Amino acid sequence: MLSRPKPGESEADLLHFQNQFLAARASPAVKIVKKADKRKGEEGSTDAERPPLQDHKDVVMLDDFPDILPALTPAPPKKSKIKSACVHFEDEDPEERLESHDQHITAVFSKIIERDTSAVAVTMPVPTGDPFPRTFHRSEIRSEVKVGSGRKSIFAQKMAARRAAEKVATAPSAAECVQIRSAAPDALDPEGSAGEAPLPRIRDDKAGDFLTSQRPCLITGEGLGSQKSEQEAEAIHKENLEKLRSMSEEEILQEREKLLAQLDSSVVAFLKSRRGGNEGQKKEVKMEQNRLEEFVESLPVAQHGVGSSLSLQESGLEESVRQEENMKVEITEDDLPVKPKKEWIHMDNVEFEKLEWMKDLPSPRQKKTKKGMQARFSLKGELIPADADLPTHLGLHHHGEEAERAGYSLQELFHLSRSQVIQQRTLALQVLGRIVQKARAGEFASSLKGSILRLLLDAGFLFLLRFSLDDAVDNVMAASVGALRALLVSLDDEKYLDWTFSWYQGMAAFPFVPNNEEEEEEEEEELNGTEKSQDKKLKDENKPDPDVARYDVVKGLLKTRIQHRLRYILEVVRPVPTVVVDILHILTHIARHSSEACSQLLDCPRLIETIVREFLPTQWDPRVAEPGCLLTSLHGVACATAMKFIRVLASGGRNATARLLNKFEMKNRLSRFIAEDPLDLLLPREEAIRLSTEAFRLWAVAAGYGQACDLYRDLYPVLVRILQSLPELLSTCRGKSPMIELSVQRATAVVTLLIHVTQTAGYAAELQAKLSSSEDSEQIPPPPVAWNQVSGLQPFVETSLKKFLQEISQTETWQTLQPLTTTYVIYLGVYYSACSQQPSVNPIDCLEELERLTSEVLQPLLNQPAIHSMWDLLRPCSALCNPLSCSPAPESVFSIASLSCTGGKPPLSLVGSKSPFPFLTALLFLINSITHIHKGLTSKYSSVLGFRGLKDYLHHSWQTRPPSVTPSSAWILRHEYHLHYFVLALARRMAGTCPDYAQHASLHHCVAMALLSRLLPGSEHLAYEVLLDLAFNPEFLPEGKAGGPEAADFSDILHLGTSAKLAQPGSAAAFFSKATRGALLREAYQNLPFIRSCYLSHFVHLQPTLMRSQASYQGRNYLIQSMLLPEVKGPILPSDWPFFPLISLYNKVTNAETRGAVLNSLPLDLVNTVTWNLQWVLLLETWRAKTLQSIPTAAKLARLMCVFLTGGDLFLEAPIHRYTAALLSVYCQPKALDSLNLDAPLPGLASFHDLYISLLEQFEGVSFGDPLFGVFVLLPLQKRFSIHLRLSVFGEHTSILRALGVPLQQFPVPLERYVSPPEDNLNLLRLYFRTLVTGALRHTWCPVLYVVAVAHVNSFIFSQDSTTQETDAARKSMLRKTWLLVDETLKKHLLYYRLLNAESPLGFDLYEQLPPMRLKYLQMVTQKENKENAPELVS
């Protein structure tokens, strides 16, 4: 047995062992087996059949391994890192576990096959004189040759340059390149664009690199196994080129389609990938460009300097790609900020591409795209212009897209806000907050398209902030609180709400609930009252948070329990003062949302306790008041913002106020901050005054509910001392003290408190009397303050008022003191109104005081020139006359309620600093209180209504269209409507006492009618008073006494304002005579008291809201439930309220019929109700037509149709028929008919077509052929209205044609409106012809539609205009049938119709003989028919 080699044995020993083995002829331990190569032959061939061994490749096999590779599809599933760390059991064998996870080696390594080198040419080395072969050095190749633009090493570049030099030597000449033609490189592209050209350009210069190459791009020749493989591939390539040259472009395209249909898509993709190079690069660039454009679409697009840009075109894109490639390649030493030197190591050959990152950024430039450029912002939230070239040390450049542009886009800031780096999250939230702040200020309105706030909210910004609030890092929490405050809160809104707090009824405010019309449309259900509100609450609870926040941000935040998180931040985190103030502002805004939001805040555990304990303590560190003291923590220090939050929370309802005063011990806080003078509070002076002001306002709110009045007895000396010090403000105001505005606000809050305490004490005696009697089941205890406790303050107020009014001529001083003077005047009005009702007060003394006040104070005041200028300022400051003054802010979103005061209101606006509205409203309120108590003084104030500025303002305000109802407009217009009401109330008192008042009556009645359709929820008391005393008052309709009815008759006789006679249709019940319009007006004027009672009874559904409104306006504080007004969705009364009785009757009948019941419970005085309604509308249409201009004529007609749809034959009643006919004649005047538009959507009507179908069905059932009813059926059939109305009459309801017997002389609408322009609808023309031929439509039955049908058919059959073949055949067929008619009368009418003629009995004129052109055409059509029918007759 041979031994194995041992260590130390040499090669000679190994050769000796080999010779011994060969001599012994022993069998080898390893046997070499030659497997058949699948590429060369069959597997079953034996060794004997094979060629000699040296002709084959050596194959090394591994034992027990399969020859075929195991399938790797589907690939083994990826293992999770978490699963790999799972627990293993002790009895589990590690080896088995290893084997189960081990993969077969053949998946990676199976065969080792020798490379085929049989066809490779072997070249001998060139003999040189050197001892060793000469090595190749890269320096031998010229470096000037540049190839490609990728990042390649120097060696790779040199080798590429060498290959390029070799190709140049073998490349064909330029002339040969021009002659070679072949298919375009994209011939195999399956996604050819159909929009570029009808046929793609096959032979194009783009394929020059492919055609000029003599080497094939796809076929390489490898695998042929011969030395001539390259020659074979080139021969195949040349054959392909020759074949392509012989084919036309169409043939090439056909072959291309065949190939694409036969080849697999993966094969096509592989072949296209072999093309490589430039095309793939350009496609990649194009994909990047598309992604950029999609990104730009999702962000705000800039205008002007930010984003004015043009479109990128295809050719320009390719050119820019080539230019960028050249720019990448052509990098010189001058482009580098640091110049490389040869002395530096390895810098003898500089690689500029590797130093490209050191270059300066290119200068930013505006990209020429139609879609604009994405907005970029600085860290201060400012918009950076697109071409701004900012230095890099500002930290505004980054390595993302558009690296040359400074700033961050919104998407990048969103991405940064979710970073794991705390500083990045904080910075992103801070920048987003600043952007929102500036956007709400309108700084981007002229630079960006669209709304940033709307874009951010749609992108989930609200919930990004909500998630960031839950962050554990203080800085992130602080940044998110700041951004949330910027999103929700407008400090300017709060400023103006505080400014109007002391105005007349200024304490009450509308809730900050968005007007969610879209949400209501989606969820509209037939529920009413509490059922609807409860159903809405349940739906909101079941909705996801984002869906709720989409319509109402505050409600969405409350669903996320934000109040609990804010409580945690205040109580546990205890942030810096800025964050605390921001949180209090956020809570204040939430409290303004609704009473429900206030309840949720009150119910939040420890929220109110924390705020009261930490930010409204009774004692704190006195070092806070030291000048220059840096406040590091607001906890434990009294804060005015916290007091304001409590005050706004108390405005949510009387129950909330009671909880705050008693459970949270706010009474003690009120005593603490009111009893001490602000100068003595250990706080900075401004903060001390604000805190005292908010304390008085909170007390005023509580007194507005009749609560906390027991504090009045305890703090009476303090209040007297403050009142005594108020005249000193005059000297302070002259001294221009910076604290004067804050001091005046505090003084107005004190007087506002006294106003509500006086109102509460005014009803103490009444409540005490009710308590003594046992009649009422609900006993309301009297307040703890009596009238004799408040009556002693009036002299102080009146004395101060006299002093302040002396300064009215000093503009600056008066502008500063006007808020305080306004509250003085309101106080006197409230005081004397309550004083007159006190049983303990002598009425004579009260009247004498009013006379003295009038003669000493008010009459001299009204004669002041400054007051005259105030009346003149009404129109410039009015929101009605200047609707843009209350328009929404540019960045307002409907889901966040805002007053649009950001940036401040102009001085000449209703809430501006120079506005006369608060003082004049208070003055008119005082005058009305005086004249209500002492009617003998009414004539003393007659000069008020004669001011030219007031009359000019009223004249313009009632004629202008009011702004749309928004939170901003509702808040402002409510105060303006108060002025209107007091002017009208004063006019009502003067109408009966002043003989020369009649000159103002018409103007004031127009103002009253406009005010009724404008008053907003919460002002139901004012609407009731206007309806009761003004709207139906005969004194405000002087036309009834001054010859108005006679003027109407005279106008009808002379046909003034009309081009045709005002015909009135007759009645089917012919037992009553027609009345003139003057007689009807005279009767209606006499029935005004009955008309008023009719309308008041139909507004009884407003009774609950009326009671709440009366409690507020009458000062019954013990009945007021909340200082929040009802939610605003529109005016109290609809614009068409004059038709309300008719509409309510129609709805009552319709709802009963919908339920399948027959309504038998119509009012007994139904005829009177409808008659009074029609009388009132006729009065308004005749004498106050402009007050109804806001109602479309189509809506008026639709309301009148309710007369025929209610109560069966109600329309046949004589008075109803007369007034309906009179109104119809008004609406059929030319101007009214021109404005009639039945195709537009009508307010309060879902579909006019459905209403008209109901009218047709009613006509069929109960009309009795009444001409008046017939006119209402005929009116909508005019040619310019929807064709479906005419199709419904002539198609589905042809039976009414026999009853529509409206005589032509009684029809008030010109027939030209029915026959012009000619009808072109073929279906309707066929229906016209069919009804005429079949006799369904006759002149004796329905003369109006007979004339219409004849005119349209005549125009159609003799029309020779070019048209479609179907229409031409139809009109010729209709003409032939007309020629063959048996009815000679109808035949004559259809053929010889000439023109309309209202004087003719037929309604139209006829030709005596046909014109030659028509006669020739008729003969041609009829003779052609005879010729066509002749063979048939013969056969």
Report which DSSP code applies to 1295. G
Q: CA separation (Å) from 545 to 538, 548, 554, 672?
A: 14, 5, 11, 42
Q: Is the pLDDT of residue 102 over 90?
A: no
pLDDT at site 583: 97
Q: Is the pLDDT of residue 103 over 60?
A: no
CA pair distance 194, 704, nearest whole angstrom? 76
CA pair distance 684, 629, nearest whole angstrom? 9
Digit-coded pLDDT (tens) for 1335-1376: 999 999 999 999 999 999 999 999 888 888 899 999 899 999
pLDDT at site 788: 92
- State both tokens at 207: 């394929």
Relative orientation angle of helices 1248-1262 and 1193-1205, to the nearest 10 degrees:
30
Q: Is the pLDDT of residue 1113 over 80?
A: yes
Q: Can you say how many angstroms the Cα of residue 564 is from the centroid of all Cα atoms in its chain?
A: 30
Distance linking the first and last C-alpha atoms of the chain: 126
CB 586 within 8 Å of CB 481: yes
- State both tokens at 533: 């509100």
- State both tokens at 91: 């009895």
pLDDT band of residue 219 (cuts 50, 70, 90) is low
pLDDT at site 46: 43
Digit-coded pLDDT (tens) for 843-885: 999 999 999 999 999 999 999 999 999 999 999 999 999 998 8
Q: CA separation (Å) from 1064 to 25, 261, 1083, 1180, 1229?
A: 139, 79, 18, 19, 12
pLDDT band of residue 125 (cuts 50, 70, 90) is low
pLDDT at site 200: 38
pLDDT at site 180: 34
> Residue 463 — left, alpha, or beta (φ > 0 → left; ψ -120 to 50 → alpha)?
alpha
Mean pLDDT of the region 964-981 = 95
CA pair distance 426, 413, nearest whole angstrom? 11
CA pair distance 865, 138, nearest whole angstrom? 101
Report which DSSP code applies to 1340. T
pLDDT at site 285: 43
Q: Is the pLDDT of residue 1434 over 50?
A: no
Which tops the pLDDT comparison, 1158 or 409?
409
Q: How high is the mean pLDDT of the chain? A: 81
CA pair distance 488, 497, nearest whole angstrom? 16
Q: Is the pLDDT of residue 339 over 80?
A: no
pLDDT at site 106: 55
CA pair distance 1189, 1184, nearest whole angstrom? 10
pLDDT at site 777: 57
Which tops the pLDDT comparison, 22 or 1061?
22
Q: Is the pLDDT of residue 19 over 60?
A: yes
pLDDT at site 1431: 42
**Percentage of the residues of the chain whose pLDDT score is greater than 90:** 51
Which tops the pLDDT comparison, 61 or 1225?
1225
pLDDT at site 323: 47
Digit-coded pLDDT (tens) for 686-709: 999 999 999 999 999 999 999 999
CA pair distance 515, 965, nearest whole angstrom? 9
pLDDT band of residue 528 (cuts 50, 70, 90) is very low
Q: Is the pLDDT of residue 176 over 60?
A: no
φ, ψ dihedrals at 509, nearest 5°? -145, 155
pLDDT at site 948: 95
CA pair distance 74, 840, nearest whole angstrom? 101
- State both tokens at 1114: 């009458």
pLDDT band of residue 66 (cuts 50, 70, 90) is low
pLDDT at site 258: 80
pLDDT at site 227: 60
Our CA angle for 401, 407, 408, nearest 5°, is: 65
For 813-858, the DSSP string reads HHHHHHHHHHHHHHHHHHHHHHHTT-TTS-HHHHHHHHHHHIIIII
Q: Is the pLDDT of residue 781 over 50?
A: yes
Q: Is the pLDDT of residue 201 over 50?
A: no
CB 1140 within 8 Å of CB 1098: yes
Digit-coded pLDDT (tens) for 255-295: 888 887 777 777 777 777 666 544 444 454 445 445 444 44
Q: How many DSSP H helices and E strands does the chain contain?
A: 65, 6
φ, ψ dihedrals at 662, nearest 5°? -100, -55
The residues, ordered by sequence, that sit 6+ positions from 989 with a Cβ below 8 Å of its Cβ are: 928, 931, 932, 935, 938
pLDDT at site 972: 95
pLDDT at site 890: 82
CB 949 within 8 Å of CB 990: no
The residues, ordered by sequence, that sit 6+ positions from 1089 with a Cβ below 8 Å of its Cβ are: 1032
| Burial class of residue 663 in the structure, from the number of CB atoms within 10 Å of its CB (0-12 exposed, 13-18 middle, 19+ buried) | exposed
pLDDT at site 13: 82
pLDDT band of residue 390 (cuts 50, 70, 90) is confident
Per DSSP, what are the bridge partners of residue 113?
A: 59
pLDDT at site 1068: 60
The residues, ordered by sequence, that sit 6+ positions from 1229 with a Cβ below 8 Å of its Cβ are: 1057, 1058, 1062
What is the torsion angle, in degrees rounded to the nearest 10, for the CA atoms of residue 1022, residue 1024, residue 1025 and residue 1027? 120
pLDDT band of residue 315 (cuts 50, 70, 90) is very low
CA pair distance 1305, 1309, nearest whole angstrom? 10
pLDDT at site 43: 44
pLDDT at site 351: 77
**Percentage of the residues of the chain whose pLDDT score is greater than 70:** 76
